[in-house]
A and B are shown apart, each in its own frame.
Chain A
Amino acid sequence: MTDVFRFDPLTLPAECETLRGEVRRFIAEEKAAGRWRAESDFASSHSPEFSKRLGARGWIGMTWPKTYGGQEKSFLERYVVTEELLAAGAPVGAHWVADRQSGPLILRFGNAAQREQILPRITKGECFFCIGMSEPDSGSDLASIRTKAVPVEGGWELNGRKIWTSNAHKAHFMICLCRTSPPDPNDRHKGLSQLIVDLKSPGISIRPIKNLAGAEHFNEVLFENVFVPADRMIGQPGDGWKQVTSELGYERSGPERFLSTFRLVAEFVRRAGTTPDAREAEAIGRIVAHLATLRRMSLSVAGMLQKGEMVNLEAAVVKDLGTNLEKEIPEIVRLVAKRGRSPNKADLMEEALSYGVLNAPSFTIRGGTREILRGIVARGLGLR
């Protein structure tokens, strides 16, 4: 057996470190001006104002061509900006999906009109996307979706229901995976297509779903005879599955897959002080050893994405290891940290801990469940 995984070593080029300095100065200014409080997670914030300021810096869609408002920077430079923003807990949630995957998808498979109309707006931090994949009866088994688009004069008529759609109520567009031809029992992946749906179109109703932590991030989205113009089809009808799976390397390998509880780690370190006891030191050291390893793995995948390599398997490895660590962190901190404060008093560590415990269940579900990821790894091992 040759090596199953490929994680090419990567050293960030010098321009990345210069850029890192710029991002840190930007974050310091933002914090000094009191513009936001550190959030725990890429999904927990939504600030169009912040997205606009970031766009003005050229840090959204920064790898895209200048024609479409991009900066033609490398994927590694984007990585540095992203990890700095996440580590600082910056409110990146509004533009997150558009920057990470919708924009790149449109750039790669979209038509000229889509690129020209949409990409520049994304880079300005003015246009937000959500991902329409899951449905009430289709979670991990994505190919079983039933939302359907049928050809009509000038476009498509969309009917069906999406669920768990993060930020649908705050986004401008959804990239909706739908059936454009009936299921083929011999190839379940056939007949799926991706439509860019303007969420202001008539016939769409969006119902927020409160999660167990009390937040309203995800939604149920209902399509009733929604008209989608023909030029809003991404790629050709039937290309949906191929396109969706091409997003996965981007979606699963980034620093957001191991930094969701990073703020808790930082607060834990603060609480332990400069002379931690043996137990605290050990807990901190273990978490840091894992984070340091994951960062190397994730960077390696970023380097391979930059070179245009296929990285879905490696991305699944990063996401499974990373999200399990994200979940483990609150469990470690709650047992080891010096606690005993009232939950009713302002306490940054307790606040981050509460966030971690309450949101942990989602870490290994969103963006591909642990079981699905391990199935991908098993396939890579040649077991299935």
Chain B
Amino acid sequence: MSDTLVQEVAGKLFADLVPPKLVNEAEAGKFPDSLWKAVNDAGFPDALAAGAESPGELAGMADAAAILREAGRHAAPLPLAETMIARWLLAGAGLKAPEAPLTIAPAERESALELKRAGKGWRLAGRAAGVPWARHSAGIVVVGQGQVALVAPESADIRSGKNLAGEPRDDLSFDAAVETGPAAPGVDAALVYRLGALSRSVMMAGALDEVLKLTVQYANDRVQFGRPIGKFQAIQQQLSVLAENVAASGVVASAAVEVAAQKGDFPFAVAVAKARVGEAAGKVAEIAHQVHGAIGFTHEHRLHHLTRRLWSWRDEFGVESEWQQELGRVVAARGGDGLWTLLSAW
């Protein structure tokens, strides 16, 4: 399927199956089993793994991103990105993936999680904070020491937590023997972290599209002083800034996906995307709420399903400043003369 067709199919599925009520229930702790089943039957969690012709390839990135953008647009409360990445890792290592939600750990750049040799096998020890959806997953995938490990959640000590959007983000500690396979060439913990950051960038791009749509709609519908508030220049100018940031986010997220799929400078692309989209997320959410006024601050209105996700996702897998610093160091190492070479090559 072409990316646009994949996006269309995914968009329709989420539009049909993710009403605000389901998002609220998920945030209250109820895992949406029937949604998961529909998504799994549609093959979405395999999109990244399915595209790879040889282990470790990211050729499935375009399809995976098209699906994740729709998932973000509809605030679909599932570990979809995590399962996609986990299945891709497991396939690359020749391990069989359970047909159930999976997750990846750690979700931090520096973690206290370690894979160690133990006799003929491997043990996983240490802690990982804020692991997405761990309590609902059938397996946690960890990469290190050239190995991809699949850990059963039962062997972890799980302390439940959640992000600002009520999505499960659990603290885990491990000390257990694990099943492993050799990581595909180029696959390491840093790459997994980048994939996490890219997935959040793409999901934010989708959520941002929807925030723009809701906010323009509201500005056209809401009448004050005898006309829709969208007729006031003060509102128009703010909505333009909002829209421009949404446009920039869509472009940069797609560009990073394209670089990933074509084996370009992936570290640069991810850093650029996560830093830029994360910055847009805050700006856009701020304006959207200002335009929506009090109604947007209520739990009843669905704007917060998107804005609370934006506020969460911009922090996950590296807050903007973290990626900006990484980017700044890469640039500085090349010097003032190398700056343009870098910019013009991506």
- List chain A residues, Cβ under 8 A from B326: 281, 285
With A282-B328, A288-B272, A375-B236 as contacts: A383 and B219 at CB distance below 8 Å? yes
| B327 & A288 in contact (Cβ 8 Å cutoff) | yes
Q: Is the pair B272, A377 in contact by a Cβ cutoff of 8 Å?
A: no
A285 to B272, CA, bound (A): 8
Q: Which residue of A lies closest to B216 (CB)?
A: A381
Asked if B212 is at the interface of the complex by the 8 Å CB criterion, the answer is yes
Contact A291 B343 (CB under 8 A): yes
* Interface majority SS (helix, strand, loop, mixed), chain A: helix
> Chain B 20-43, CB within 8 Å of chain A: the 1/0 string?
000000000000000000000000
Is the CB of A292 closer than 8 A to any CB of chain B? yes
Closest to A6 in B: B247
Are the CB atoms of B337 and A266 closer together than 8 Å? yes
Query: 10 A-B Cβ contacts within 8 A?
Result: A87-B344, A275-B332, A280-B332, A281-B326, A282-B328, A286-B279, A289-B272, A297-B248, A321-B248, A375-B236
Residue of A nearest to B336 (CB): A270
- Of the candidates A11, A84, A371, the one whose C-beta lies within 8 Å of that of B237 is A371
A274 interface hit (Cβ, 8 Å):
yes
Which B residues are in CB contact (< 8 Å) with A371?
Answer: 237
Contact across chains for B247 and A7 when beta carbons are under 8 A apart: yes
Q: Known contacts A292-B272, A378-B239; is A281 also within 8 Å of B244 by CB?
A: no
Q: In the complex, which residues of chain A have a beta carbon less than 8 angstroms from the beta carbon of B279? A: 286, 289
B254 within 8 Å of A by Cβ? yes
Interchain CB contact under 8 A, A293 and B243: no
Give Cα A293 to B329, complex, Å: 18
| CB of B196 closer than 8 Å to a CB of A | no
Asked whether A377 and B343 contact (CB < 8 A) given A4-B212, A383-B236, the answer is no
B80 an interface residue at 8 Å Cβ cutoff? no
Chain B residues near A262 (CB, 8 Å)? 340
- Residues of B at under 8 Å CB distance from A? 209, 212-213, 216-217, 219-220, 230-231, 233, 235-237, 239-241, 243-245, 247-248, 250-252, 254-255, 258, 268, 271-272, 275-276, 279, 320-321, 323-329, 331-333, 335-337, 339-340, 342-344, 346
| Complex-state Cα separation, A374 to B232, whole angstroms | 13
Chain A residue at minimum C-beta to C-beta distance from B326? A285
Q: Give chain A residues whose Cβ lies under 8 Å from the Cβ of B252.
A: 289, 292-293, 296
Give the number of residues in A that approach B within 8 Å (Cβ atoms): 58
CA distance A103 to B254 in the complex (A): 34
Interchain CB contact under 8 A, A383 and B344: no
Q: Evaluate contact between B271 and A7: CB separation under 8 angstroms.
A: no
Closest residue on chain B to residue A272 by CB atoms: B332
Also in contact, A266 and B339, with CB within 8 A (given A20-B344, A374-B237, A378-B240): yes
Cβ of A267 under 8 Å from chain B: yes
Taking a contact as CB atoms under 8 Å apart, the answer to whether B337 and A281 are in contact is no
Question: Across chains A and B, which 6 residue pairs bring their CB atoms closest together, nearest first?
Answer: A281-B328, A285-B324, A285-B327, A270-B336, A285-B328, A374-B240
Any B CB within 8 A of the CB of A341: no
Residues of chain A with a CB closer than 8 A to B320's CB: 286
Complex Cα gap A4–B212 (Å)? 10
Known: A382-B220, A383-B216. A276 touches B251 (CB 8 A): no
Return the contact of A377 from the options B244, B275, B336 (Cβ within 8 A). Answer: B244
The residues of A that contact B217 with a CB separation of less than 8 Å are 1
